[in-house]
Structure 1
Amino acid sequence: MCQVEEDYRGEMERAAVPSVSKKCVKCKEAPAALVIRAGDAYCRLCFKDFFTHKFKAVLGKNRIIFPGEKVLLAVSGGPSSCSMLRQVQEGLSQKANKKLRFVPGIAFIDEGAAIGQSVEERQRTVAELQAVFEATGFPFFILPLEQVLDLPASVVATNPAPSEQPAGAYKAAVDRFVETDGSSFPTPQEPKETLLPHVQQSHTLMLQQLLGSVKTLTAREELLNTLRQHLLVHTARTEGYRKLMLGDSCTRLAVKLLTSISLGRGAQLAQDTGFSDSRYGDVILVRPMRDYSAKEVAYYNHLFTVPCVVVPGVDTKTVEKASIQRLTESFVTKLQTDFPSTVSTIYRTSEKLQTACRKRSGGDGCERCLLCVCSLDTAVEEASAFQATLISDQLSGSKRGGAAETLRPKPGRPESPAPTAQCCSSAEGRGCGTPGSDAGCCSSAEATRNNTSAEPVVLQLCTDCQRHVDSGSPPSVHPVRGSEEAKEVSDERGDQ
């Protein structure tokens, strides 16, 4: 038995702690400047080569971006997206060892209206980012978030994807690029003077009304992410870009994976966290930064002075329990501190996921959500968690439960008649719900009007996106814009 008086300190061996005083693990000569993981100490130059090689390797391994293609970079001003912009800038320079072969453009979405910033504050942020974009020499687009209210209904439709490329098409395109030295491919245009476009005050108020109708910060962040993605995809389509490059890091995707599971988006994980996302058909979303942790990105930006612009979001200065996204981020980062393989383990899990979509009746392709354009996950059995949630909401008397029977009608079950006794909104019930009254029950009329406008939309939404409609936002303001355009998009999908 161990004794309190015994001293074991002399016999215990002290574990070697990685230190920057060691030599670089790659060149074995220069002193280490940073330690990424236990035993991975790099000098400054070797870390830069390691960082650059990883970016080019992930693009070369997947072979999605063909030589000469136009690629739109979604830059938010944060560390990861700015680091991605620096990698593309250096990869296209003349002194690059293995040059990148695509034609880049930059898109920035100004979300100042979502957090209540003044016009002067928004102009100041745009001016800082414009200076960064102009230094790259790439064309760029400044997009106010209010523009999402003017997008056509076709933005949530899946356009036909380009014809399937043969197996050797990528190698043939590379050989052709090398032979012509890239002279036959389009070159980046000169950047133009661009400031924040003029935004009508009514559009700003309408956007704030939409976001204000969402009751929780969790749903508001999900809705903002969907609106942002719609605007980026529409810009890529109208400007002729075939690929949309996002700056999601490994840490961010690990948080997103756990958050999506918590929000009921398990069926969409492969599209939300994978390297490529082809849900829109003609525009493919690419995530080349998914192999980098937040620590690696922070080290690279600090050592090589990558300019970043701090842009506040809807979750800035909120407590960790304010939303599911914030709580998950706090959980993952704290766990990563004690267990350094946490993020990589979660990230590797996402690589093995695939989406099993429900086939559209009478046509090819999958049935997709009208808001996030992912495969629908609402066609489930009676004894399922989704049906249990609907029944629970119905019994608790929530708004979503009121439409539960409409969403999932049971065969052979007659509809319940409208109340004819006393109106639920009138204490005396005079002139409402009484025999011979032309008006009928006001609550029944209101429910009919709400179901008429919401039913075609809700039937085409996935489990997670239904909470945006349930939040009570008016159909004229909501991104899916009511039943008329919902039916139009549904008809377009049926014809494809």
Structure 2
Amino acid sequence: MSSNDNCVKCNQSITSVSHLHGAFCKNCFQVFVIHKFRAAIGRTKLITNGEDVLVACSGGDNSSALLHLIQHGKSESAHRKLRFIPQVLYVDEYGALEVSSEDRMAKRAEILQVLIAAGFPVYVSSLEQALNQKRSETTARSVFVKAITSNIPLPPNVETSELKSILSRISSLTSLEDFIKQLRCQLIVTIATELGISKVLTAENCTKLAIQVLSCVAQGRGSQISQSTGFSDSRNNVMFIRPLRDLSSSDLAAYNKLFDVPSTVNPIVIKKTSSLSIEHLTEMFVLSLLKDFPSTVNNIKRTSEKLEQADLRLPKCYICKYQAARVSPCNLLWLLSYFKKLQR
């Protein structure tokens, strides 16, 4: 977003980005974004020097910006180099969409070409492999491959058909999106464990997390907000870290545009055009508020940071690994079940 105001840092009249806290020139905006990114990592000290870290990249705006920031932090021009060792993972989710094999192969090659050019080891998997995790344990077959070139074969048609068959049985778009998210998460955990890596960097930004906070509340998952939107998520054996949570989606979009960071549009699973998921409706609501109330996202994020983590002694859900919420015997689900029994 262009602006004609003076830069709030260096007071130059040539500015490139209009931000919530004022206008920035190109150089000062880069310093601002890099500082937010590095401060988030350095503040918690969760990542040690020389530690292998898996970077989950989808090729979209957020993950492309994350990879570019890591690449800059490892370069010779960086004031203080990042000390961890990044390895990149791309999970192909196009198997969940009605996309031809040719188009899927071309899209995968386009994304892999960008990831390989970053200069870090790149691993590739697909959503179909999430269904093969148990089989791979008995057959010693890996659920991922190392990408030397961008021409990585697609999974067998039988596996893609099996995935689509399972997804077609889910009628609710909200449940469908959540199921795909859980499959992806479990697959990333499996791959990280196989690589001997205990930390995964993901690219959720402040805007995305604010939407997720309200979406969790709307779906009755308020007890999960602390872990699902916090800086780190340790519900699995592998810790997920969100170093971009202090930057908004507009910040990252402006960063990508100013520094020519290549990115692609992420696949969005939509079965019924007439209906939207709870998360999509929440996104529309939050983005509409931003037009008149630009501090909405930051206020939601700061409020969510005050929420405490659920009791770790509670049993975990088999699918999402979150702690089960402690509820009284008389709750909504119990009442619905009771009324159904009375109707029989």
Judged with a 3 Å threshold, the aligned counterparts in structure 2 of structure 1 residues 36 and 206 are, in CA distance, closer, same or farther, namely: same
SS state of the match for residue 41, structure 1? strand
Judged with a 3 Å threshold, the aligned counterparts in structure 2 of structure 1 residues 210 and 395 are, in CA distance, closer, same or farther, namely: farther
Judged with a 3 Å threshold, the aligned counterparts in structure 2 of structure 1 residues 19 and 208 are, in CA distance, closer, same or farther, namely: closer
What displacement does 1:268 show?
A: 1.1
Summarize deviations over 1:334-380 as a string: whole Å, max 9, x none: 01111011111111112112222263xxxxxx410000011012x42
Rg larger for:
1
What displacement does 1:21 show?
A: 2.0
What displacement does 1:201 show?
A: 1.9
SS state of the match for residue 79, structure 2? coil
Partner of residue 349, structure 1:
303
Judged with a 3 Å threshold, the aligned counterparts in structure 2 of structure 1 residues 132 and 393 are, in CA distance, closer, same or farther, namely: farther
- Is 1:201 paired with 2:201? no
Within the candidate set 270, 276, 284, 2:226 is matched to 270
Select the structure with the greater relative contact order (CA < 8 A; seq sep ≥ 6).
2
- Is 1:113 paired with 2:95? yes
SS state of the match for residue 151, structure 1? helix
Within the candidate set 122, 131, 136, 2:104 is matched to 122
Summarize deviations over 1:277-318 as a string: whole Å, max 9, x none: 11113x110001111111111111111111001232203994
Within the candidate set 285, 303, 314, 1:331 is matched to 285
Partner of residue 381, structure 1:
328
SS state of the match for residue 270, structure 2? coil
Distance 1:367 1:154 in 2: 27
Partner of residue 101, structure 1:
83
- Is 1:311 paired with 2:277? no
The residue identity in structure 1 corresponding to 2:190 is: H
Gap runs ≥5 in structure 1:
1-17, 156-189, 360-365, 398-496
Partner of residue 291, structure 1:
246
Alignment of 1:66-465 (within 5 A): 66-152=48-134, 192-281=148-237, 283-315=238-270, 318=273, 321-357=275-311, 359=313, 366-377=314-325, 379-391=326-338
What displacement does 1:266 show?
A: 1.2
SS state of the match for residue 85, structure 1? helix
SS state of the match for residue 27, structure 2? helix
SS state of the match for residue 165, structure 2? helix
SS state of the match for residue 65, structure 1? coil
Judged with a 3 Å threshold, the aligned counterparts in structure 2 of structure 1 residues 40 and 60 are, in CA distance, closer, same or farther, namely: same
Q: Is the contact between residue 249 and residue 293 of structure 1 (CA under 8 Å) also seen in structure 2? A: yes
SS state of the match for residue 35, structure 1? strand
Partner of residue 9, structure 2:
26
Distance 1:332 1:390 in 2: 34
Gap runs ≥5 in structure 2:
138-145
- Is 1:41 paired with 2:23? yes
Partner of residue 46, structure 2:
64
The residue identity in structure 2 corresponding to 1:32 is: T
Q: Is the contact between residue 231 and residue 245 of structure 2 (CA under 8 Å) also seen in structure 1? A: yes
Q: Is the contact between residue 71 and residue 245 of structure 1 (CA under 8 Å) also seen in structure 2? A: yes
Q: Is the contact between residue 369 and residue 375 of structure 1 (CA under 8 Å) also seen in structure 2? A: yes
Distance 1:213 1:392 in 2: 27
Judged with a 3 Å threshold, the aligned counterparts in structure 2 of structure 1 residues 19 and 217 are, in CA distance, closer, same or farther, namely: closer
Distance 1:275 1:226 in 2: 19
Judged with a 3 Å threshold, the aligned counterparts in structure 2 of structure 1 residues 384 and 26 are, in CA distance, closer, same or farther, namely: same
What displacement does 1:42 show?
A: 0.7
Distance 1:239 1:70 in 2: 9
TM-score by length of 2: 0.92
Judged with a 3 Å threshold, the aligned counterparts in structure 2 of structure 1 residues 154 and 147 are, in CA distance, closer, same or farther, namely: closer
Distance 1:42 1:324 in 2: 35
RMSD: 2.3
Distance 1:43 1:195 in 2: 40
Give the percent of matched residue pairs that are identical in Structure 1 and Structure 2: 38
What displacement does 1:108 show?
A: 1.1
Judged with a 3 Å threshold, the aligned counterparts in structure 2 of structure 1 residues 26 and 389 are, in CA distance, closer, same or farther, namely: farther
The residue identity in structure 1 corresponding to 2:334 is: Q
* Mean Cα deviation higher: 81-90 or 195-204: 195-204
